[in-house]
């Protein structure tokens, strides 16, 4: 009897295991399978894979590099390579405690030596694009030990942590700085970071391939390979997405309403910090006069442009020189069109019959062609004969490389641009683009805008620790840039718009449009 009972128990246990195993296998078969490779189609390549030189965007740099601190998905500042930080009683010495065990893609261990070397290059190499910007908020960087580094500011800097989120603060390998110099970031071989992906190959203006880094300090990301295809034709990108040739794509906003109704496609419209507009070339014989720039500003019906071109994606008229998501933004309202006031200002400036100008247009900016065409029509109503000159990407970048005032090879009176505060703070968002450079070359101030009062206000705001007073300083500076001495025709505040297969999961970007790769996957 006892033996029979034991046999029965064993038989029952075996049956349970068999059925359970079958159930487990069935459950496993229902789990989604994910691709090893996600393919992304984008309109333009990166000019440098080096944050100190890159002026393209933040989207892919942070796949490869890390910084001391970064903007999280919620917009708040969080640690990246730094675990913690504090500011000393002197108000100018900031101490950053670094993560231990972080590795570069070539296996080298990250230490404070790499932080110091990165900032030495940023502060002391004048050929580095963001040299003058960094000097405005950093005086010195030194190592206390392998995992502790101090940043010393010229005085109290209220925006320091925000400034450290700018792409120019991405940390480079000290050995690569020495080996490659200013050629760092121009080839895949010259790129070595601590981010979730390593740059495996780069065929300029055609394709970038990222491979996951198993030793990434936050853990290996779920998708092994990210294949980025540079497809300049927006229609081709859209077709590739709809036919499943690519998983994620950037497309023209005119396609968004249709794609939102297309089965198998998802559209994400996310808060950003960017704007678009036409910048004035203040070295131009006409644009030197602020009355002319005011006249052009009043000649334009911005609301009509938005209603005609951008309302389908919910974008709105600019009401300040910075996007509402930038700290320090002040709402001045929409500048109303006033044709008679525009004509009066032109007459006062000595141009009652108007003049002829050329507008430079790089068409890769969203609806820039249609926007410029509408602006040309509106300018004609006040006597200004504007013609559009379309330039390719190479010309667009090259003419901004010549920074010697007054820019003899920069004949355009106005030029279409995108604007964004890379730190989501008015310090960098205004000072980098609009302040007068000490050498007069205005390396990031492409239109050679210069206003002494704007310079004074932005300089005062750097060290103002009283938040309300700092906001007032930025309000006054924006008043000048937007209304009194216009630096640009600020047209529309942008969303970060991404279109992708509905099989894509875990796609997320911060306000800088930098992708967070931790959860990004795509089902087969």
Is the predicted pLDDT of residue 1 greater than 50, yes or no?
no
Q: How confident is residue 311, by pLDDT bands cut at 50, 70 and 90?
A: confident
The structure tokens listed for 207 are: 């394709």
Q: How confident is residue 445, by pLDDT bands cut at 50, 70 and 90?
A: confident
DSSP code at position 213 = -
pTM to 2 decimals?
0.84
Would you say 300 and 486 are in contact if contact means Cβ atoms under 8 Å apart?
no
Please give the Cα distance from 449 to 281 (Å, whole number).
Answer: 7
DSSP states of 233-277 as a string?
-HHHHHHHHHTTS-SEE---GGGHHHHHTSTTEEEEEEEEEEEEE
The structure tokens listed for 328 are: 């320090």
Is the predicted pLDDT of residue 112 greater than 60, yes or no?
yes
Which of the residue ranges 20-24, 147-151, 439-443, 511-515 would you say has the lowest mean pLDDT? Answer: 20-24
Average pLDDT (383-401) is 89
Average pLDDT (372-389) is 98
pLDDT of residue 332: 98
Would you say 511 and 75 are in contact if contact means Cβ atoms under 8 Å apart?
yes
Task: Using the Cα atoms of residue 142, residue 144, residue 148 and residue 153 in order, give the sign of their dihedral.
Answer: negative
What's the chain's average pLDDT? 91
State pLDDT tens for residues 129-169.
888 889 889 999 999 999 999 999 999 999 999 999 999 99
Would you say 121 and 172 are in contact if contact means Cβ atoms under 8 Å apart?
yes
What is the SS3 assignment for 82-111? EEEEEECCCCCEEEEEECCCCECCCCCECC
Domains of the chain in start order, with CATH, are 65-183 (3.90.76.10), 184-270+496-522 (3.40.190.10), 271-494 (3.10.105.10)
Q: At 456, phi and psi to the nearest 5?
A: -65, -45
State pLDDT tens for residues 450-505.
999 999 999 999 999 999 999 999 999 999 999 999 999 999 999 999 999 999 99
The structure tokens listed for 200 are: 């495996």
**330/59: higher pLDDT:** 330
Is the predicted pLDDT of residue 28 greater than 70, yes or no?
no
pLDDT of residue 365: 87
pLDDT of residue 253: 82
Alpha helical stretches, state H, 155-253: 160-163, 174-180, 234-242
Is the predicted pLDDT of residue 27 greater than 60, yes or no?
no
Q: At 478, phi and psi to the nearest 5?
A: -70, -35
């Amino acid at each position: 009897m006892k033996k029979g009972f034991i046999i029965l128990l064993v038989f029952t246990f075996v049956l349970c295991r068999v059925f359970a195993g079958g159930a487990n296998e069935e459950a496993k078969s229902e789990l989604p399978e994910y691709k090893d490779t996600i393919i992304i189609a984008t309109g333009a390549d990166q000019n440098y894979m080096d944050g100190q030189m890159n002026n393209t965007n933040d989207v892919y740099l942070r796949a490869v590099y890390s910084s001391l601190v970064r903007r999280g998905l919620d917009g708040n500042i969080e640690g990246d390579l730094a675990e913690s930080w504090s500011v000393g009683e002197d108000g100018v010495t900031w101490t950053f405690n670094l993560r231990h065990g972080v590795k570069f893609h070539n296996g080298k261990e990250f230490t404070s030596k790499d932080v110091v070397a990165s900032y030495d290059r940023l502060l002391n190499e004048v050929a580095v694009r963001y040299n003058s910007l960094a000097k405005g908020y950093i005086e010195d960087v030194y190592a206390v030990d392998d995992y502790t580094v101090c940043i010393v500011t010229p005085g109290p800097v209220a925006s320091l942590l925000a400034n450290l989120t700018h792409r120019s603060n991405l940390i480079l390998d000290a050995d690569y700085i020495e080996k490659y110099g200013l050629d760092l970031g121009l080839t895949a071989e010259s790129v070595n970071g601590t981010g979730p992906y390593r740059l495996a190959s780069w065929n300029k203006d055609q394709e970038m391939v990222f491979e996951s880094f198993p030793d990434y300090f936050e853990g290996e990301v779920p998708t092994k390979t990210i294949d980025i295809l540079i497809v300049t034709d927006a229609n081709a990108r859209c077709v590739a997405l709809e036919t499943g040739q690519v998983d994620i794509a950037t497309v023209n906003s005119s396609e968004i309403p249709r794609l939102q109704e297309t089965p198998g496609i998802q559209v994400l419209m996310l808060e950003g910090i960017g704007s678009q507009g036409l910048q004035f070339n203040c070295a131009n014989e006409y644009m030197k006069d602020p009355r002319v720039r005011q006249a052009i500003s009043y000649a334009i019906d911005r609301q009509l442009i938005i209603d005609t071109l951008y309302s389908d994606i919910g974008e709105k008229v600019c009401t300040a020189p910075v996007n509402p998501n930038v700290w320090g933004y002040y709402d001045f309202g929409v500048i109303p069109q006033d044709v008679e006031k525009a004509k009066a200002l032109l007459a006062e400036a000595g141009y009652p019959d108007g003049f002829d100008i050329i507008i430079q247009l790089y068409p890769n900016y969203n609806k820039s062609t249609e926007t410029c065409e509408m602006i040309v029509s509106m300018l004609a109503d006040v006597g200004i004969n504007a013609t559009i000159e379309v330039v390719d990407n190479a010309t667009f970048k090259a003419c901004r490389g010549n920074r010697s005032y007054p820019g003899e090879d920069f004949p355009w009176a106005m030029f279409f641009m995108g604007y964004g505060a890379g730190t989501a703070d008015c310090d960098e968002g205004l000072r980098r683009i609009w302040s007068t450079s000490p050498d007069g070359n205005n390396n990031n101030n492409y239109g050679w805008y210069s206003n002494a009062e704007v310079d004074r206000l932005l300089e005062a705001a750097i060290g103002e620790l009283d938040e309300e007073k700092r906001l007032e300083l930025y309000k006054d500076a924006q008043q000048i840039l937007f209304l009194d001495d216009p630096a640009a025709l600020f047209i529309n505040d942008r969303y970060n718009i991404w279109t992708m297969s509905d099989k894509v999961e875990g796609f997320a970007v911060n306000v800088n449009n930098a992708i967070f790769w931790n959860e990004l996957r795509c089902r087969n």
